[in-house]
Chains A and B, each alone.
Chain A
Amino acid sequence: MTLTAASETSGTPAPAPQQVTMSGAINRALRDAMTADADVVVFGEDVSTLGGVFRVTDGIARDFGQDRCFDTPLAEAGIVGFAVGMAMAGFRPVIEMQFDAFAYPAFEQIASHVAKMRNRTAGRVNLPIVIRIPFAGGIGGVEHHCDSSEAYYAHTPGLKVVTPATVRDAYTLLREAINDPDPVIFMEPKRLYWSKGSIESAAAATTFDSFGRAAVRREGTDVTLVAYGPSVDVAMQAASAATESGWSVEVVDVRTIVPYDDETVVASVRKTGRCVVVQEAQGFAGVGAEIAARVQERAFHSLHAPVLRVAGLDIPYPPPKLEHLHLPGVERVLDAIARLQWDDNADTHFFPHGTASGNTANGNQGGAA
């Protein structure tokens, strides 16, 4: 959009853009936001002297001072509640929850106060707070360090829920989140912290407008894969692999779960006629279920097959040596694509065991034509 246009129209042949990690891009976004607005402050557990356990806030306290980047006591509800008060006093707090599962003590503050203050006060008190949460797995983390908690927040009216899949988006979405007048849950896929990309053209921008706009990461004609955060990379790999089977796969990166971009997703599905939603989170009652429902509500007559979901298993996050079985990988995505009614045979995947056709005693289920 604006940013892309700006970078593409710069006339001089630029040298190869400098590569930064996603954690570096987030660090840069924090610094640029703090430079642009003296009311932006960063706080949380170990974010100051240490620079955070993932080093996302590395050097910020040194360069901006302890007043603007400070450590707090170890209490997540306290950190979020403190941010509510700081925002009421005129600051724009950007706070860190150290890990996904450690944010749960703060859930009451988030659901009852952060999400509702604007509504409770008829718009008189708004809370421009960004809550950064490193989330999801794939890094060999032990229990309580790998939860995909996005659905809890997305289900709470009044919160925006954002998760970047690219280094550039990590920068631009965070800048936009900090500028937003409303609270944003900014979910950082831990396994992408060390991924690399360029943010140079993005960092030159002064306005950001990606919220509510999904991004088509790869164009295709046969199937749409809808994904967000850590699963976009999986979808991209699956799309590449699918070409071997002759499938042309389009990949849509949701980027902001709230506000959600129905339009871009549905336009893609209308074009391709098939859709698989990929999410790392456990599948039941998840964001992917919402996306699948919305797609078939809006594009039913364009669909050649049911919308399928590829998600994590409905289990507590497993021990590191088993996480590869839990995480939706390329093979599971390809298997789902293969089930998208490419011929007239019934998809037997959900048929009861022991029935070839799926017809049961009363004969009204399954129903291969």
Chain B
Amino acid sequence: MVIGRRFDIQAMALAKQGRLAVYPPSRGQEACQIGSMLALSKDDWAFPTYRDSMALVTRGIDPVEILTVPHGAAHCGFDPRANRTAPQCTPLATQLIHAVGFASGEQRKGRPTVAMAFVGDGGTSEGDFHEALNFAAVFKAPVVFLVQNNKYAISTPLAKQTAAPSLGYKGIGYGIASEQVDGNDVMAVLAVLNKAVAHARSGQGPVLVEAHTYRLDAHTNADDATRYRDSDEVEDWVRRDPIARLEAWLCDGGLIDDAFIASVAQKAEAFAADLRMRMSVDLAVDPMSLFDNVFATPTPQLLEQRAMVKSELEAEEASR
């Protein structure tokens, strides 16, 4: 969690320095993102959104590859199959139904895979969220929907997003086992998600977990959160910081000491330093890659356009 947060802070700093086009931070949501990944086995799949970068760090994905999209030289930088993680999804809730189809497909092939599908409070208003829940329930797909209710969809507060008593109710309507959990208590998140993953894996169908948490930072580096919420509210959630809570609990139980805390902080600093260094290297981009992977075999029209760009670049090169 400490490393995840340090990654998040570092990425936000890189965005503010202009080294990333944009970064959507998730500081304050460590218990949800790290807890969820720890509940999965290595063959399970994650279907994350753009805000779930700390979850991807937890999965062991190279942080430079996680940041490829905002770094600007390519789209998804990591290998989804090797990392058992779908590309981070920007159109909200659209990847949830992929998780459902994938999990159902794995089940049909006799494999015990579980898919963890990520969505926020705002995303639960999208039609694809509802279609995903319905398909998952009808096909008894081994999916766990993790709703990180961080209270805001950019600036829109939960009260303007839904009239449901809780987002967990949205699962119940589809016949899905649904739970709520304190999303800033990693032990609680782990307990609930371990149970949810086991339920899904056992063939009893999907589970929806609403985790109550809070986005301590703005929507992205380009957003100004002071326009829609006051600092008292943020301070209130800082007091419920998931890392501080875990640390206090572990210290109270005598499970960790100051030396351990210092060593973790040091590890996190080294992680951030390595990321800073590797992100400072200018990326080599291949202009011809524009035409790769539109189709397995490029159409004649794409080949014509490729030749045009190539000759433009060659002329540019020659005139230097």
List the A side residues contacting B109 at CB < 8 Å.
89-90
List the B side residues contacting A123 at CB < 8 Å.
292-293
CA distance A77 to B96 in the complex (A): 11
What's the minimum C-beta distance from A95 to chain B, rounded to whole angstroms? 10
On whether A82 and B91 interact (CB within 8 A), knowing A124-B81, A125-B80, the answer reads: no
Find out whether the CB atom of A75 lies under 8 angstroms from the CB atom of B81: no
Bitwise, A151-174 to B at CB < 8 A (1) or not (0) is 000000110100000000000000
What's the minimum C-beta distance from A233 to chain B, rounded to whole angstroms? 27
Bitwise, A247-270 to B at CB < 8 A (1) or not (0) is 000000000001110110000000
Find out whether the CB atom of A113 lies under 8 angstroms from the CB atom of B94: yes
Find out whether the CB atom of A75 lies under 8 angstroms from the CB atom of B131: yes
A91 at the interface (CB under 8 A from B): yes
CA distance A125 to B86 in the complex (A): 9
What's the minimum C-beta distance from A111 to chain B, rounded to whole angstroms? 10
A78 at the interface (CB under 8 A from B): yes
B214 at the interface (CB under 8 A from A): no
Find out whether the CB atom of A105 lies under 8 angstroms from the CB atom of B301: no
A85 at the interface (CB under 8 A from B): yes
Interface residues of B in 61-82 (CB under 8 A from A): 74-76, 79-81
Most buried by B among A77, A81, A212, A258: A81
Chain B residue, CB-CB nearest to A88: B102
List the A side residues contacting B138 at CB < 8 Å.
72-73
Interface size on B, residues (CB 8 A): 40
A108 at the interface (CB under 8 A from B): yes
A340 at the interface (CB under 8 A from B): no
On whether A88 and B101 interact (CB within 8 A), knowing A212-B299, A260-B299, A262-B300, the answer reads: yes
Choose, from A28-36, A114-122, A343-351, the stretch at the interface: A114-122
CA distance A212 to B74 in the complex (A): 29
Q: Which of B76, B79, B96 contacts A120 (CB 8 A)?
A: B76
B103 at the interface (CB under 8 A from A): yes
B97 at the interface (CB under 8 A from A): yes
Chain B residue, CB-CB nearest to A181: B296
Q: What's the A-B contact tally at a CB cutoff of 8 Å?
A: 136
What's the minimum C-beta distance from A295 to chain B, rounded to whole angstroms? 14
Find out whether the CB atom of B128 lies under 8 angstroms from the CB atom of A77: yes
Find out whether the CB atom of B135 lies under 8 angstroms from the CB atom of A108: no
List the B side residues contacting A219 at CB < 8 Å.
none
Find out whether the CB atom of B101 lies under 8 angstroms from the CB atom of A81: yes
What's the minimum C-beta distance from B82 to chain A, rounded to whole angstroms? 8
B320 at the interface (CB under 8 A from A): no
Q: Which of A81, A90, A113 contacts B105 (CB 8 A)?
A: A90
Interface residues of B in 92-125 (CB under 8 A from A): 94-106, 108-109, 115
Chain A residue, CB-CB nearest to B292: A123
Interface residues of A in 60-101 (CB under 8 A from B): 67, 72-73, 75, 77-78, 81-91
A182 at the interface (CB under 8 A from B): yes
Find out whether the CB atom of B300 lies under 8 angstroms from the CB atom of A259: yes
Most buried by B among A72, A78, A119: A78
A109 at the interface (CB under 8 A from B): yes
B173 at the interface (CB under 8 A from A): no
Find out whether the CB atom of A77 lies under 8 angstroms from the CB atom of B301: no
Find out whether the CB atom of A122 lies under 8 angstroms from the CB atom of B75: yes
B132 at the interface (CB under 8 A from A): yes
A126 at the interface (CB under 8 A from B): yes
Find out whether the CB atom of A72 lies under 8 angstroms from the CB atom of B135: yes
On whether A84 and B101 interact (CB within 8 A), knowing A78-B132, A105-B127, A112-B94, the answer reads: yes
The 3 closest A-B CB pairs, nearest first, are A85-B101, A89-B105, A81-B97
Q: Which residues of B contact A (CB under 8 A)?
A: 74-76, 79-81, 86-87, 91, 94-106, 108-109, 115, 127-128, 131-132, 134-135, 138, 292-296, 299-301
